């Protein structure tokens, strides 16, 4: 296996990718949307509404004689060539930060690093499987998916279209039954059958039953509504789901689950020698993971509006004008604090970020705003006091009441293994939330 590692949001000479020429040829200057069509799984599904990453963003974008990587982490593989995209805040060959974010945000078990050589598809299937409980839980919040299906009957209570050929085959000599079919609204449909096949496949894994305990109620629902499940029908179910992608806006969470199930089951078919996939892999939105991780740390102190799910909407103006979604709004009404999660180095938090934060602070009468960012060095909070006056009158001076604070969470760097990384970042987390304990 030829392996090449890069960091997200970086830039490297094209010649440095000489070990993985075929993979680079396939993925360079292709958007995430195009890669999704070729089998790459992009997490989260809300990437389409994300401000930090979009379907138009590229994994590798040509810039003169270099390739620039985007705001995503993960890996891609083609044949014997593999590209690993690690977090720029991780050091060495192990991307402990990514694994930790996945473990915390998605309640995903820690697994061995994906960038080590292993049998083809094993690691990608493991990652996709670990995502299944999350997607199943999100989808079933909308209720069990139901749609029209055509069922075949052979009895004396004709309620649909008579099937002449089938009637002749089954009912000669005639004994009173009529072969017919009827279009009915049902839960036992192509998509629920696909989910059922995925559940049964995961159960056969050594860790499967333990993993599915997290969504045991949802799994029981899936089993209850799929009495027609037959293991031998897997190929038929896969084919039907590829032809019938979920399009209804109300069930968009099921569309993501459907795609995940297809990738899990189809990769398994590749593994046992059936079919062939050109490129596969999984990519994660680093900014989304960072924001959700920070929310886990500060949710006792801040509200968390979410623009991707359209929850907690705020407005700049009356009559619901100027829709905004500050990342975090302090829970206590007095001394209101606004905070923004930034998956970027401290020096990259600049003017556009300042303008956005000051607009939020002005809207909520806040005198303190925070930026929550990953910090790789041991530095104190950087406080920036708002100026008053202007240079024309030569009366510029800093105020003592309105302040923006860059508040970093220290990412461990000098560690020997993942266990040590976890131990040290837990210490960083305690230090990170300390200033906000006075808010409750």
Statement to judge: residues 258 and 334 lie in one domain: no
* Nearest to 113, CA basis, from 101, 129, 96, 125: 96
Statement to judge: residues 271 and 361 lie in one domain: no
Residue 119's pLDDT is 47
Tell me, yes or no, if the pTM score tops 0.75. Answer: yes
Residue 272's pLDDT is 38
For residue 293, tell me if it sits in a domain: no
pLDDT per position in the chain (440 positions), as tens? 788 899 999 999 999 999 999 999 999 999 888 888 887 888 886 544 444 445 557 889 999 999 999 888 998 888 888 899 999 998 877 788 998 999 899 887 765 444 444 444 566 778 889 899 999 999 999 899 988 777 677 777 777 677 777 767 877 887 778 777 777 668 889 999 999 999 999 999 888 888 899 899 999 999 999 999 999 999 999 999 999 999 888 888 899 899 999 989 986 554 433 344 568 888 998 899 999 999 999 999 999 987 656 677 888 888 888 888 889 999 876 778 999 999 999 999 999 999 999 999 999 999 999 999 999 888 889 999 999 999 999 999 999 999 999 999 999 988 888 899 999 999 999 999 999 987 76
The edge-to-edge listing of strands for the beta sheet with 161-162 is: 147-155, 178-186, 161-162
| Strands 60-63 and 66-69, sheet pairing | antiparallel
Statement to judge: residues 155 and 204 lie in one domain: no
Statement to judge: residues 425 and 309 lie in one domain: yes
Residue 308's pLDDT is 58
Question: Of 287, 315, 350, which closes a domain?
Answer: 287
* Nearest to 417, CA basis, from 79, 114, 94, 192: 94
Residue 168's pLDDT is 75
Statement to judge: residues 49 and 14 lie in one domain: yes
Statement to judge: residues 29 and 81 lie in one domain: yes
CA angle 342, 343, 348 (to 5 degrees): 75
Residue 117's pLDDT is 44
For residue 294, tell me if it sits in a domain: no
Q: What is the pLDDT of residues 12-60, one digit of tens each?
A: 999 999 999 999 999 999 988 888 888 788 888 654 444 444 555 788 9
Statement to judge: residues 339 and 387 lie in one domain: yes
- The count of domains in the chain is 3
Helix (H, G, I), strand (E, B) or coil at 425: helix
Statement to judge: residues 80 and 218 lie in one domain: yes
* Nearest to 49, CA basis, from 248, 214, 197, 252: 252
Query: Domain range for residue 126?
Result: 2-143+188-287
For residue 292, tell me if it sits in a domain: no
Could you count the other beta carbons within 10 Å of the beta carbon of residue 5? Answer: 13
Buried-state track 52-82, b at ≥16 Cβ within 10 A, e below 16:
bbbeebbbbbeeeeebebbbbbbbbbbeebb
Helix (H, G, I), strand (E, B) or coil at 232: helix
Polymer length in residues for the chain: 440
Statement to judge: residues 133 and 50 lie in one domain: yes
CA within 13 Å, CB half, 390: 2
Residue 178's pLDDT is 79
**DSSP summary character for residue 306:** B
Residue 89's pLDDT is 92
**Paired tokens of 385:** 């006091």
Residue 163's pLDDT is 77
| Sign of the alpha-carbon dihedral angle for 51, 89, 108, 118 | positive
**Cα dihedral 191/196/198/200 (nearest 10):** -170
Residue 36's pLDDT is 84
**DSSP summary character for residue 161:** E
Distance CA 350, CA 339 (A): 15
Statement to judge: residues 67 and 164 lie in one domain: no
Q: List, in sequence order, the alpha helices (H) in 244-315.
A: 252-271, 286-298
Q: What is the pLDDT of residues 121-164, one digit of tens each?
A: 566 778 889 899 999 999 999 899 988 777 677 777 777 677 77
For residue 172, tell me if it sits in a domain: yes
Crossing angle for the helix pair 252-271 and 234-243, nearest 10 degrees? Answer: 140
Question: Of 287, 310, 329, which closes a domain?
Answer: 287
Residue 273's pLDDT is 36
């Amino acid at each position: 296996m030829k392996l090449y590692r890069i960091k997200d949001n970086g830039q490297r000479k094209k010649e440095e990718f000489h070990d993985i020429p075929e993979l680079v040829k396939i993925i360079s200057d292709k958007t995430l949307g195009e890669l999704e069509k070729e089998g790459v799984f992009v997490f989260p599904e809300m990437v389409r509404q994300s401000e930090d990453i979009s379907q138009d963003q590229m994994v590798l974008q040509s810039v003169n004689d270099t390739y620039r990587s985007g705001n995503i982490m993960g890996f891609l593989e083609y044949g014997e060539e593999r590209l690993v995209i690690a977090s720029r805040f991780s050091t060495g060959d192990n991307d402990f930060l990514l694994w930790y974010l996945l473990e915390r945000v998605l309640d995903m078990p820690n697994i061995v690093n994906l960038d080590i050589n292993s049998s083809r598809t094993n690691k990608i299937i493991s990652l996709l499987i670990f995502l299944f409980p999350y997607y199943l839980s999100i989808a079933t919040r909308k209720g069990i998916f139901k749609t029209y299906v055509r069922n075949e009957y052979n009895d004396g209570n004709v309620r649909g279209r008579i099937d002449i050929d089938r009637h002749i085959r089954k009912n000669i000599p005639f004994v009173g039954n009529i072969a017919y079919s009827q279009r009915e609204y049902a839960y036992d449909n192509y998509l629920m059958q696909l989910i059922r096949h995925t559940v049964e496949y995961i159960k056969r894994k050594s860790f499967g039953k333990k993993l599915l305990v997290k969504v045991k109620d949802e799994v029981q629902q899936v089993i209850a509504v799929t009495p027609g499940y037959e293991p031998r029908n897997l190929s038929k179910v896969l084919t039907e789901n590829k032809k019938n992608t979920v399009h209804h806006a109300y069930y968009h969470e099921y569309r993501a689950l459907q795609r995940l199930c297809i990738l899990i089951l189809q990769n398994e078919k590749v593994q046992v020698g059936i079919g062939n996939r050109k490129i596969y892999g999984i990519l994660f939105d680093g900014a989304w993971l960072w924001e959700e991780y920070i929310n886990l740390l500060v949710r006792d102190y801040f509200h968390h509006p979410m623009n991707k799910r359209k929850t907690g909407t705020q407005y700049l103006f009356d009559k619901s004008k100027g829709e905004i979604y500050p990342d975090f709004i302090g829970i206590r009404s007095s001394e209101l604090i606004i905070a923004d999660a930034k998956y970027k180095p401290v020096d990259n938090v600049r003017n556009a970020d300042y303008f956005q934060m000051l607009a939020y602070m002005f809207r909520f009468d806040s005198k303190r705003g925070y930026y929550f960012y990953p910090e790789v060095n041991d530095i104190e909070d950087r406080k920036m006091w708002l100026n008053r006056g202007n240079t024309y009158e030569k009366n510029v001076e800093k105020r003592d009441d309105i302040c923006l604070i860059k508040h970093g969470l220290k990412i461990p760097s000098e560690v020997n293994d993942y266990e040590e990384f976890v131990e040290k970042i837990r210490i960083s987390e305690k230090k990170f939330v300390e200033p906000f304990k006075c808010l409750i």
